[in-house]
Chain A
Amino acid sequence: MIGNDIVDLDLARKESNWQRKGFLEKIFSLEEQYLIHNDSNPEIMVWNLWSRKEAAYKIFNRNTGISGYFPWRLNCSYEDLNSGTVIVSDFVFHTQTQITDSYVYSIAVSDIGLFNKISVLETLENIKKENRIPYTLDVTSNKMIPVSITHHGRFQKIITLK
């Protein structure tokens, strides 16, 4: 299973004041807050960890059917700027994060081997949805192939499995 999440940094600066009192405490564990406060660029760390949690939540939600608002239960284990894991309940998801001047983009997978099988889709064509969860149908086997879509501000990313 796969999940992705993008943050348009320009829009995030307009929409969110992460320095607001109480904001970080509602979303991040003490360890995560420590990473943010001790980073040379706390803003990027906020959205880096946030996008990992959101990408991982998409897998968790699809695997378990559980939905809710619990960013604090998705625990980031931070390896470096571009990689780590997110732990939630009994699940461990692997994440890869790409950071540019304009966006922060994370992909989460349920199995580390899936990173090599991810392919990018350019359009929403042929994507169907069931219970708001996107997928495509394999033309020969008629099997459902997972898709994850993320959209924020100027950016949209769609991924699927090869």
Chain B
Amino acid sequence: MSREAALEKLKDIVKPYVQNQEAFDSLTEETDFINDLRINSANLVDVILDIEEKFDIIIDNESMEKMVNVKAAISIIETELSKE
């Protein structure tokens, strides 16, 4: 999967949890899930579970710890996909 395709898929996943539509519309790799998109911190667990389901990967606790912005999420997804 290309980085662009992964990004599009990730955007679909986070969309329902976003509370700052403007930040979502101008989303970049630097966009922070909690501080920019205003995703509720308990919903970040849902984002992670949705990523696991939709990409069919497992995100361990160490990876989850880093999953604070788009760039980190894409890197973790790419790393996990490349393991298969």
Residue numbers of A with Cβ under 8 A of B are 12, 15-17, 20-23, 26-27, 50, 54, 67-73, 132, 152
Contacts and interface: CB of A to CB of B under 8 A. Distances in A.
B35 A132 contact: yes
Which of A12, A15, A26, A72 lies at the interface centre, i.e. has the most chain B CB atoms within 10 A of its CB? A26
Contact of A20 (B40, B46, B66, B68): B46
Contacts of B6: none
Interface of B: 35, 40-46, 48-49, 52, 61, 64-68
Contact of B41 (A20, A23, A54, A73): A54
Contacts of A22: 49, 52
Contacts of B45: 23, 26-27, 71
Contact of A23 (B35, B40, B49, B65): B49
B65 A70 contact: yes
A104 to B, nearest CB: 12
A48 B40 CA distance: 16
23 contacts: A15-B40, A15-B42, A16-B40, A16-B42, A16-B46, A20-B46, A21-B49, A23-B45, A23-B49, A26-B48, A26-B49, A26-B61, A50-B42, A54-B41, A67-B68, A68-B65, A68-B66, A69-B64, A69-B65, A69-B66, A69-B68, A70-B64, A72-B61
Contacts of B68: 67-69
Nearest to A12: B42
A20 B49 CA distance: 9
Contact of B61 (A50, A67, A70, A152): A70
Nearest to B47: A69
A152 B38 CA distance: 12
Contacts of A21: 49
B36 to A, nearest CB: 11
